[in-house]
Amino acid sequence: LLQTASAAKCGNQDCSKDAPCCVKGYCNANAMYCMPFNCEAQNSYSSGSCWDTAHCVKESVNFGSSGAFAQIADYKGDPSTAAFVSQFEPSNAKISGGELQLELVKQSDGKGFGATVINTRAIQYGTVTAVMRSGCTSGGVVSSFIIRNDAIGDEIDFEFVGADKATVQSNYYWQNHLDYTKMVKSPAMSDTTQNDHSYQIQWTPDQIVWSVDGNAFRTVKRSDTWDSASNTFKYPESESYISFSTWDGGSGAQGTSEWAGGAIQWGQGPFLTNVKSVTIDCYYKGNDTTYTPPGGSDDSSSSSKDDD
């Protein structure tokens, strides 16, 4: 007998061999559906339908150079052809003036539609530095530089809000446990919408360090994330993707809108987040053929406190 794919449901349909990858109830064969950061393996045609994860390599990405960015509609799965891609369509991301530019635009319903650009390789620990300007020239506009695993919910981030152009906010989450009380602001700096600053996340198995312009302002140690009730270190450690985004926080729920600075004043646009360069230094050295994940490889945070 011929072996057939399991009958996993993608919404109200079964994905086919010609359109094998499932995302939010739809099937297709292109990068927007088959890239591992979007593709729902459990709902796709088969367990091997989603494209393989490309692992971190040390690189300096200058967005004025070729091979730095591609629209996801044009991406064929080879990370050597594009370090970053737009995550969805329509795309409000492009290269402009030698920089990656993400725009937040007003829709017919009065809400903003932004952009997300994501690395084509995943990283598990390392140092990532971005030189950029936020697009938050009005309250309600949010810009971000994030390292995140969407499937698991681990995240380390920098977030900018239009309510405050002189600081950037830092936070981290473990498995989608969204504790906003852990947010820490950077010291004041020159206007983040008008001036390039260097933002760095240094992520190791033992600690996370956030820095601006070479000055560390926050450190979180894994040992301090121990939760005795669950016998777990609530520390982000899963292989994740670097991304940049801009979005409308002002039209969100009341708490989100207040945090972002209220409704967007569209006359203060355009709202452009500009990324000049990204430097990635992997904690685990090597490339696709020599990559070795951490010991244990199951990414479990559970451990004896005495082992840390």
Annotated active-site residue in 155, 237, 239, 258: 155
The two structure tokens encoding residue 184? 């820490």
Decide: helix, strand or coil at residue 238. coil
Task: Report angle CA 70, 214, 120 to the nearest 5 degrees.
Answer: 20
The two structure tokens encoding residue 49? 């339908």
The two structure tokens encoding residue 227? 């939760």
Q: Is-catalytic flag, 89?
A: no
Annotated active-site residue in 99, 103, 159, 239: 159
CB atoms under 10 Å from CB of 142, counted, come to: 29
Edge-to-edge strands, sheet with 184-185:
69-70, 84-86, 115-123, 240-248, 141-149, 154-161, 164-173, 184-185
Q: Is-catalytic flag, 239?
A: no
- Mind telling me the catalytic residues? 155, 159
